[in-house]
Structure 1
């Protein structure tokens, strides 16, 4: 596959220098907080300014799905694919023979988002980008026949390979626009639990797509993680049945989870503990994605899901700041602007408090 943008990938002998420049611990330094990705509104400049103001330690490339076609999770990532194109049909996104206006729109929207990032994130040490993971992508893209790409192992393989190549170009472009900034790559896999459970409906709606085995799911995810190279990686799944052990085994450096969901399930919480105990980083989703009735509650209230889970796992509170990055529970696209700003501000306040939590906590 050919890419129109040079990838700037390191030669084999240059890898140690790259690792020295982007040590994996730096994005998760004490005081770091970040967002999941999506925000309300349609103005990328305004959204990027919000992120820069509230999450300066680890800003994320903004996603604004309210802009419509090409700004959604699947369409946004389809615009990054190499030698695979897609178009919108009544049932959703479908693989096409050639690029059309829908892919052009997705690429234009991404370019505007990168313009906003270049303007507002200049000088940041790190930036996080988010893309649809291979399994959610294969579940959300249709083949020309109308069936999910998920039903064709060859299509899944091709999508994963194209995603790796497109991601390399995307990350290289971000790095060029923000010189000196490290790039964290987040794979969003909200559809992975349904893929593993075999609960996705077929094109006819009268059946479900056969479940993918855990071993096969891990194999594909691990291949994408390996293809990302030395950039820190995050797997995001805010489902109550997030396959935490599978994601850990796939090689991700960090997991972004809705801790208010998994923290109530003993088996899931044990898996979180194993991940953190194995030097994994937890992006702990603890702030609601939409404004709650008690939006003015004190900071201790928002910290309680994390503190309760940490205590149940038996970890030292002294380790919170180096192992946990506070985030919203999921994206903020459904929030109003005032809550989106407050949610990010709460995440930053929580991150600031974790190195030395008040005794009352």
Structure 2
């Protein structure tokens, strides 16, 4: 009979305080749960939002969620994964029973599963795992539905990024935006999520793909992921330039990967009549947009938000890993650096300054 385990993990104990590596207790998996030995975990902006108290105040947080690893043990009733399976962790473990699932739209599941048991500090203090995962840790406890089995020969550092940011961007283009053959696409914000949206647009057959940012380094990244044109919006009007590059009409799909009122307005006015705007960048609760209502009415089309790229992990993760293994999707290009578990705080700093696409913790 196995017992709970003590492992090392990255914990945020208080708002805006540096994270620390702590010993945590990972319980034996209960019904429907799995213990996963984490191989890699990307450093995502969402983890920084948790540390800054921007998600909620349920400190201490066990950070990390963009992860790949190997199932070590499963609890009663688990038959979808088994010990030894190589998995990507996800935060949309669909329930199969909510109104979205029953309508055949499980990518909108309103009742996703997490592990029932808490992981704790050694003194018994319960931890709040980021997005129900908590993977800046040697091992973590999740619901088995949060484990998606993929090709074990794939690089964990690369494919683990599908667990959040890269999937969010790819899905914003392919799933939410519905980019199709011959479409024109503009992506505002060329960090990890924006570059993934660019890669997704190219995968879907877009012929004109425009990357917009204020940082020339990020525009160079955008070109590497398939942008056919780039715009530095400090130097040129983004809306006018996107229109010029699309025959004067605007793009068929414009993706806002920043999530600020000014970038969303750029996206709105840079789309073609009856075009689609996709908001995938995460705004803060205080942000407001004020616009003439007639503009929303008269332009038609769709204004969408994209949660997790509207992905269904069981469908999308294996498919995208196959494309990666075939050389058709360069996930390795998103990995700027690999770091140890105690390097997360420094990675937050480099991310804040825009020096990296992704830092990845390797365990």
What is the TM-score normalised by the length of structure 1?
0.27
- Which has a greater percent of helix? 1
- Structure scoring higher RCO (CA < 8 A, sep ≥ 6) equals 1
What is the TM-score normalised by the length of structure 2?
0.27
- Which has a greater percent of strand? 2
